[in-house]
């Protein structure tokens, strides 16, 4: 592997679905998995799964499960535009999955966003053929995609046919544990052949509609055949009917002579702006579109501009750290880019690369938006707008629960209702069990935190006043209504919630659900109450008065916030250990060694224990960081200040003591767990932090989470690893209104370089073991306030400063 190219130099059928996920191509509007051109969903060996997903392309279906009717909203597998299938005269498919592979190389070039394959194959008749492909999903024109296929007979000649198709007969089949659920989300409304005004060749198109959301999708495709770079006439048969319109070209293959076929595709939907109708738009676009080279040139320019803003450089030579970081940035920008800004879409936990979590939006934006705030604030702002657009639904949900403010769901999709499963399948036991993860009210805290951090980073006062303050205030109202005053304690409590851990849904043997006084939630609520008041004070007076009037916000209400801010209850036990929740100390210790010896991989202990007839609710164990999330979001001094404001002592020794305590009781069943532990250990135990960082980097690229990556990337993990370099290792902090840097390099890292935007300033930062160099671009009239380990100064436009550490 090179620093820009993810390379596979052998064909491994059992690894193909993982590679399809990692080689997904997209542009923030739609994404297509990196499957071979000749395969359909493999329902026998489960080795291939071509799929295309629209950003925010959801549909709802009902299924009878465990004697009850349940409804799920899914990210829909859209019509497959990939099929470009070459065959010999006797029907043998000329492609890697259908032949003996003599030589193979596949490259994902993340610098220009192109997937390439070069293989030599041998069919059962002994015919050897070189097959080369290139593929892109245009970042320059988000409706366009293209394929180039080159076929060279090496020891034979004879008739060859190549079929191009748009397959509308697809279903959702990408996640095994969902396969008992209804899966046919599309109805094909029309397929046809047509002639354009620019291209002389006949082309094909297809229109499909989602069964419940009624979202209409139209695709159109044209195909051209080239020899030595020039078009030449071939026999052409077009069938524009059924669920799979096709266009087939036939020619005579000659030994040693490559023939190249180019397929250009346009995709539109009924939600697109500035169109009359999606089928007409797709047909017109594909008719006038450039050839593959023209599309590739514009596509590469668009990626070049993205990398200029978003590249992150490290000097580590081991473990392909530089490449993996770029692969992670690549997948982030394919999921959300400038092409997403006009779309009403959120931040999907698994990107748009697979069907895991049904494409839903969780709290993962907590790990994603900080990177975008510093690199592409307009994209981050759109992710916040997704939440703001669902504020009415969140208010409705809160009212239905007898609460104030706005209550956003743990899982969100199209309209902001709670999309968490009522029951979920445990693949280890085969049982459908109740799902209470909707009790994770802390997702609302993440939304408020992100809204405030966006303002601190960008200085975007208008967005704060129009969206941010309202989000923060309504979440504050929610938690103020959840908080009840315990006169005996003289403190406020919050009952029946879950923390980030997810292994604990209720107290052992209890009839109720949820837990009392989750420490992460309660401390964050104290932070929220203070931040809500500060955010209101940051508004223009007239806008603030208008908002207070519209929301009916009174002085009595904000006074209660101040009371909650200083009187939230936080449980402790032992020698200064923050209890994950009240009563945590009464749980049983878990037999970690015994279960590792018995099962090996114990990341998903919740499933293992349920299969044994037990429950993770009984034990002191965690899926991922819960208490330690406070250490992820705030530095040591801020954590001490938060506890001090509540009247609790928090000493530097307690920081390490709590890390040790919970690290020994965590199974790391979420990819986010390695990420958080790397962050919180970076300043005190750099080698241990490096070990966790390497595990986080390996999670998707090597699929170390039990085969889950083949169902979709983990976007929070991917972006979070880059943000470790951007914020954690540079010590980047803007909470005081000044750009503060306090580097801490870990492991073998001796140099890193990031490019950031802070309140409109574009800055290049280079960190070494001995110095920090910072440069401000031209074009911004005001200097930027910088503080590097106590060395405070103002950096003027086009100025460079170096501070020795």
Which contacts of 639-642 are long-range, i.e. CB under 8 A and separated by 24 or more positions?
642/523, 642/526, 642/527
CA dihedral 14, 15, 16, 18 (to 10 degrees): 130
Q: How far apart are CA 763 and CA 772, in angstroms?
A: 12
Q: Give the closest residue to 686 by CA, choosing from 743, 633, 624, 637.
A: 743
Question: Inter-axis angle of helices 377-389 and 469-482, to 10 degrees?
Answer: 50
Identify the helix (H) or strand (E) that includes residue 785: strand 784-788
| DSSP secondary structure code for residue 337 in this structure | S
* Cβ atoms of 659 and 631 closer than 8 Å: yes
- Centre a 10 Å sphere on the Cβ of residue 168 and count the other Cβ atoms it contains: 23
| Angle at CA of residue 96, ends 91 and 99, nearest 5° | 55
Beta strands in 577-645 (DSSP E): 577-578
Q: Which of 107, 502, 505, 582 is catalytic?
A: 502
Q: Give the closest residue to 249 by CA, choosing from 12, 84, 439.
A: 84
Q: How far apart are CA 469 and CA 447, in angstroms?
A: 11
Beta strands in 310-386 (DSSP E): 312-314
* Cβ atoms of 26 and 352 closer than 8 Å: yes
Q: What share of the chain is helix, strand, coil (3-state, %, to 5)?
A: 35, 25, 40
Identify the helix (H) or strand (E) that includes residue 190: strand 186-195
* Cβ atoms of 131 and 67 closer than 8 Å: no
* Cβ atoms of 129 and 154 closer than 8 Å: yes
* Cβ atoms of 86 and 95 closer than 8 Å: yes
**SS3 annotation, 196-265:** CCCCCCEEEEEEEEECCCCCEEEEEEEEEEEECCEECCCEEEEECCCCCCEEEEEEEECCCCCEEEEEEE
* SS3 category, 112: coil
All residues at 6 or more sequence positions from 685 whose CB lies less than 8 Å from its CB, including other chains? none
* Cβ atoms of 350 and 67 closer than 8 Å: no
Q: How far apart are CA 592 and CA 386, in angstroms?
A: 41
Residue the block writes with tokens 């530089």: 322
Distance of CA 400 to the CA centre of its chain: 30
CA-CA distances (angstroms) from residue 166 to 81, 162, 189, 469, 805?
Answer: 5, 14, 13, 46, 59
Cα-trace Rg, the chain: 27
Q: How far apart are CA 769 and CA 751, in angstroms?
A: 7
* Cβ atoms of 120 and 256 closer than 8 Å: no
Q: Which residues of 38-51 are buried (b: 16+ CB within 10 A; e: fewer)?
A: bbbbbeeeebbbbb
DSSP 256-297: T--EEEEEEEEEEETT-SS-S-HHHHHHHHHHH---HHHHHH
Q: How far apart are CA 344 and CA 535, in angstroms?
A: 25
Q: How far apart are CA 279 and CA 283, in angstroms?
A: 6
Asked about 502 being catalytic, the answer comes back as yes
All residues at 6 or more sequence positions from 738 whose CB lies less than 8 Å from its CB, including other chains? 785, 786, 787, 792
Q: How far apart are CA 291 and CA 264, in angstroms?
A: 7
Q: How far apart are the first and last CA of the chain?
A: 34
As annotated, the active-site residues are 502
């Amino acid at each position: 592997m090179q620093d820009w190219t993810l390379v596979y130099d052998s064909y491994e059928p059992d690894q193909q679905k993982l590679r399809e996920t990692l080689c997904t191509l997209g542009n923030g509007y739609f994404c297509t998995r990196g499957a071979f051109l000749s395969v359909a969903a493999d329902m026998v060996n489960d080795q291939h799964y071509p799929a295309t997903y629209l950003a925010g392309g959801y549909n709802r279906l009902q299924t009878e499960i465990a004697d009850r009717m349940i409804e799920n909203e899914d990210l829909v597998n859209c019509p497959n535009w990939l099929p470009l299938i070459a065959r010999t005269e006797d029907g043998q498919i000329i492609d890697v999955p259908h032949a003996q592979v003599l030589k193979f190389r596949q490259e994902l070039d993340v610098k220009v966003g192109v997937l390439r394959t070069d293989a030599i194959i041998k069919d059962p008749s002994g015919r050897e053929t070189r097959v080369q492909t290139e593929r892109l999903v245009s970042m320059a024109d988000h409706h366009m995609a293209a394929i180039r296929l080159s076929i060279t007979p090496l020891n034979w000649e004879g008739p060859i046919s190549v079929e191009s198709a748009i397959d509308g007969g697809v279903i959702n089949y990408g996640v095994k544990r969902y396969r008992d659920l209804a899966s046919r989300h599309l109805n094909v409304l029309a397929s046809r052949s047509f002639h354009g005004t620019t291209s002389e060749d006949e082309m094909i198109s297809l229109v499909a509609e989602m069964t419940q959301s009624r979202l209409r999708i139209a695709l159109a495709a044209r195909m051209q055949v080239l020899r030595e770079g020039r078009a030449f006439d071939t026999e052409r048969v077009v069938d524009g009917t059924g669920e799979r319109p096709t266009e087939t070209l036939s020619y005579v293959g000659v030994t040693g002579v490559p023939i190249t076929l180019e397929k250009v595709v346009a995709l539109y939907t009924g939600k697109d702006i500035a169109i009359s109708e999606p089928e007409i738009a797709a047909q017109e676009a594909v008719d006038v579109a450039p050839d593959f080279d023209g599309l590739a040139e514009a596509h590469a320019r668009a990626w070049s501009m993205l990398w200029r803003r978003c590249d992150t450089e490290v000097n580590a030579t081991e473990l392909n750290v530089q490449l993996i970081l770029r692969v992670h940035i690549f997948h982030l920008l394919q999921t959300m880019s400038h092409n997403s800004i006009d779309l009403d879409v959120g931040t999907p936990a698994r990107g748009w690369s697979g069907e895991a979590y049904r494409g839903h939006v969780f709290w993962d934006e907590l790990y994603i938006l900080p990177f975008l705030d510093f690199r592409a604030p307009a994209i981050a702002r759109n992710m916040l707008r997704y939440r703001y657009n669902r504020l009415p639904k969140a208010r409705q949900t809160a009212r239905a629960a007898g609460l104030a403010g706005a209550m956003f769901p743990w899982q969100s999709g199209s309209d902001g209702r709670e999309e968490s499963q009522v029951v979920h399948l445990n693949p280890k036991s085969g049982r459908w069990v109740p799902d209470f993860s909707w009790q994770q009210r802390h997702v609302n805290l993440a939304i408020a935190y992100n809204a405030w951090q966006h303002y601190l980073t960008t200085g975007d006062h208008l967005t704060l006043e129009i969206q941010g303050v309202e989000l923060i205030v309504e979440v504050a109202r929610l938690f103020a209504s959840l908080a009840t005053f315990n006169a005996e304690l003289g403190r406020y409590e919050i009952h029946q919630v879950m923390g980030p851990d997810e292994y604990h849904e209720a107290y052992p043997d209890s009839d109720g659900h949820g837990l009392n006084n989750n420490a992460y939630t309660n401390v964050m609520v104290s932070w929220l109450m203070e931040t809500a008041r500060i955010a209101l004070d940051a508004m223009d007076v007239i806008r603030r008065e208008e908002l207070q009037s519209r929301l009916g916000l009174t002085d009595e209400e904000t006074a209660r916030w101040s009371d909650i801010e200083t009187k939230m209850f936080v449980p402790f036990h032992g020698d200064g250990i923050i209890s994950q929740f009240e009563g945590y100390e009464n749980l049983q210790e878990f037999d970690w060694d015994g279960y590792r010896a018995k099962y090996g991989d114990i990341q998903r202990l919740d499933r293992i224990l349920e299969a044994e007839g037990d429950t993770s609710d009984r034990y002191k164990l965690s899926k991922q960081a819960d208490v330690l999330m406070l250490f992820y979001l705030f530095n040591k001094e801020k954590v001490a200040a938060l506890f001090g404001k509540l009247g609790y002592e928090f000493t530097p020794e307690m920081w390490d003591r709590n890390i040790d305590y919970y690290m020994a009781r965590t199974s790391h069943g979420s990819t986010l767990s390695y990420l958080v532990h790397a962050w919180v250990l970076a300043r005190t135990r750099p080698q241990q932090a490096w070990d966790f960082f390497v595990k986080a980097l390996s999670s998707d690229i090597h699929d170390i989470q039990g085969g889950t990556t083949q169902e979709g990337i983990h976007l929070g993990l991917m972006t979070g690893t880059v943000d470790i370099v951007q914020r954690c290792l540079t010590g980047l902090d803007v909470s005081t209104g000044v750009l503060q840097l306090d580097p801490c390099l870990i492991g073998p890292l001796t140099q890193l370089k990031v490019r950031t935007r802070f309140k409109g300033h574009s800055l290049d930062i280079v960190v070494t073991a001995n110095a920090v160099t910072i440069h401000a671009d031209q074009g911004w009239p005001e200097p930027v306030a910088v503080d590097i380990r106590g060395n405070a100064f103002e950096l003027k436009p086009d100025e460079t400063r170096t501070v020795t550490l």
